[in-house]
Structure 1
Amino acid sequence: MDQDKEIKFFNSHCAGRFEMKLPIGSTIISSQLESEFLHLTFNDRQTENAVGLHLGQNRKAVWENSAEKIRVKWGNDYVEQKASNGIGLIGMTHLYDSQYNKLDPAYMTEVLVYKDFPQLEFAISGKEVGSIGVLDPEVEKFEVQYQQLAKNVLSEMNLVKHVPWPHNQLGLCLNNQLVFNRQKAYKNELYAVEYKLGDMSFIRIESVAYNEGWKKMIDGQRGPFKRMLSVFSNKRVKVAGFDGYLAVALHPYHREAVKFKWLSSSPKFGTTRHPSIKIRGTININDWPQIADRGKSLDMLMTILASIQPRENGFVGTW
């Protein structure tokens, strides 16, 4: 592709610890973060759910209403509802006693968090994930456990900051506006983002830093991929400085399009500097008629993969 026209055709995007160039008009289908205590997932559209992106003047009321629907559905009791400095928290719990399960009585707890960005006229919401929702039924122990997990998830939501791209901030980009601005990476870290590139084309990137306990899950993903390599055209391709294998196949219903999957070949347990990275998607060059006569879908794919690079300071704080 002609270099001048290529520059005008692409926009720069920040994705986790990486940056990349995608065709102008690309939008986020899903952005997901799993940190030590916080789960976030959202896209570019308004949600009516308790976790996601909230728009409009009544966005906080919509979030609170979604939490109330959860409470009613499961018969939960509210533990607390509070708001401070644009961050809201709703904690709810339900006591499961031995009458309904074979285990000891326990509180199943859910903590939802909300952060408003008035200057951007939107808010995002997430939930606590570190406790797996199970707390001690004894009142004194429950109170201590609950306050600790509420403190943890509020602390992490505070790390979600508005930093417009381009920038050199530490942590993980959630999109071109928001950063999970943690100085030191956790042992376990999952970030995934999926972009809609055109009518048919999309790309999804998943980066998972994991300890030994996640090995079975990661290996489970690699088995089918190795079988895929034995069937489809494949080759070793380095992406963002990471070695890996790229498998490419013609789309079964659109001969101009290609389906692809790339997987890093040498992730390391217990390190965020060498995560397991998976990239997959579909590229149809006909989504961009202005350049369709100058290249093929595979050309566009390789151009996008070549643009993926570690961003400045993206891997600072990893180990």
Structure 2
Amino acid sequence: MMIWKQMFFCLGLGLLFTPPGVHAMSSKPELNTLNLSFRQNCAGRYQLELPTDMQQVKGSFGLPDIGFTVSAKNKQNKYKGIFRGKDRLTRWLATVEAKRFDDEKGRSVTKYVLKEVDTQKPLKTVVYYSDDRKLMRDENASHSYNSFFFKDFPEQQLGLTISGGGVDNVFFDRSDTKYQQHFRQKLEIMQGKAQQVHYAAWPHNRLGLCINDELIFEQNTASSQENYIVKFYNGKNSRIQFDVTSYGKNADNYIAEQIKHSSGLLSFFASTNMKVAGRKGKLIIGDGEYAGTTEFRWFSTDTKSDSIRFSHIAIKGDIDMEDYPELGGVNGNGTSLVYGILRAITIRPNGMMGVTK
């Protein structure tokens, strides 16, 4: 079974009082046959119905100009990407300074060129310039700007850290005599995108990418590319990962080759064609590495280049029957739960609004 795990982790190409979003009985007939309660979760442009004990533990989103990562509390009672409490801005600024200090230790010469942290404005911006010529041992090393944004929500006492350029750094050739002007233009674009993050408690019908059950990246028109991974975990042995990757123009041949390669790997195992959220795809499901576990992989086979609607989707996970003893006997099993979860995945309301291709 280790062969299964090694091969199919590669198939992603590169899951009384009832709180909001929780349903004692699912809205999906396939799940209503199971003796479990389910909670509605969002993941980007989609929604999933998962057992109520399964919560989002991480979400990583990459867009052309910005990126953000959110995670649940870790063992140190800290969140990644999200800062909470009255001292959230101070703690965020400390992380930026720590990164700048690390860059200087690595032989870069740095200096802050912008600090907009006015407490009256929801969006905070910090930028430092990095001269990497000594680090790179190259007198022609590019000009480097490290951009950090913090979208603050005072009423909720939380803020989201947003990286500029998708991965913090924006580079300009050393020969570019107008690099400062060009950076200011780029900065305006990044700040505009960062402003599009809003607080919106799930469930909702807001446009754009749902980051977690509190935040959304709202957009009337979809970005040219969107990549995100959202992970759910029940704190025991069951987990699901939802992975969406969009490809640029003229990538159809590459996509076809990857799907053909993945489909070829499936020939070693029993697989089936299955639609998820209206998308064609292939599913492999079977016993996991440990007794009583069910492991599965699903990936879309109708992926298109230069398309958000037909981005590549890969879903994988493990279900441990010991986590859900209610499913024993006539009430179902891990396989029936996997099928029910996959069939219940849909585009969330207005999730594709503004998507033109």
TM-score by length of 2: 0.80
Structure 1 partner of 2:196: 159
Q: Distance in 1 between matches of 2:350 and 2:186?
A: 29
Matched, 1:289 2:317: no
- Aligned pair partner of 2:288 in 251, 256, 274: 251
Structure 1 partner of 2:160: 124
- Aligned pair partner of 1:146 in 180, 183, 196: 183
Letter in 1 for 2:58: S
Matched, 1:268 2:304: yes
Contact 1:285 1:300 in 2 (8 A): no
- Aligned pair partner of 1:11 in 28, 31, 39: 39
- Aligned pair partner of 1:77 in 107, 111, 114: 111
Structure 2 partner of 1:94: 130
C-alpha distance 200-3 of structure 1, shift in aligned 2 (>3 A): closer
Structure 1 partner of 2:222: 185
CA offset at residue 200 of structure 1?
Answer: 0.7
CA offset at residue 45 of structure 1?
Answer: 2.1
1:90-109 superposed Cα distances (whole Å, 9 cap, x missing partner): 11121233894457232122
TM-score by length of 1: 0.89
Matched, 1:23 2:60: no
Q: Distance in 1 between matches of 2:304 and 2:97?
A: 42
Contact 2:247 2:307 in 1 (8 A): yes
C-alpha distance 158-263 of structure 1, shift in aligned 2 (>3 A): same
Matched, 1:42 2:90: no
Aligned residues: 318
Contact 1:51 1:124 in 2 (8 A): no
Matched, 1:240 2:294: no
Structure 2 partner of 1:61: 90
Specify which structure has the bigger relative contact order, considering alpha-carbon pairs within 8 angstroms and separated by 6 or more residues: 2
Which ranges in structure 1 are unaligned for 5 or more consecutive residues? none
Over the residues paired in the alignment, what is the CA RMSD in angstroms? Answer: 2.9
Q: Distance in 1 between matches of 2:229 and 2:135?
A: 40
Q: Distance in 1 between matches of 2:165 and 2:253?
A: 20
C-alpha distance 126-214 of structure 1, shift in aligned 2 (>3 A): farther
Contact 1:198 1:287 in 2 (8 A): no
Which ranges in structure 2 are unaligned for 5 or more consecutive residues? 1-28, 105-109
Letter in 2 for 1:41: T
Q: Secondary structure of 2:178's match?
A: helix
Q: Map 1:153-232 onto structure 2 (within 5 A).
A: 153-212=190-249, 222=259, 225-232=262-269
Q: Secondary structure of 2:267's match?
A: helix
Greater Cα shift, 66-75 or 100-109: 100-109
Structure with greater proportional strand content: 1
CA offset at residue 119 of structure 1?
Answer: 2.2
Contact 2:35 2:327 in 1 (8 A): no
Letter in 1 for 2:328: A
CA offset at residue 227 of structure 1?
Answer: 4.1
Greater Cα shift, 189-198 or 217-226: 217-226
Matched, 1:52 2:88: no
C-alpha distance 255-177 of structure 1, shift in aligned 2 (>3 A): same
Contact 1:39 1:127 in 2 (8 A): yes
Letter in 2 for 1:239: V
The percentage of counterpart residues that share the same residue type is 23
Contact 2:71 2:79 in 1 (8 A): no
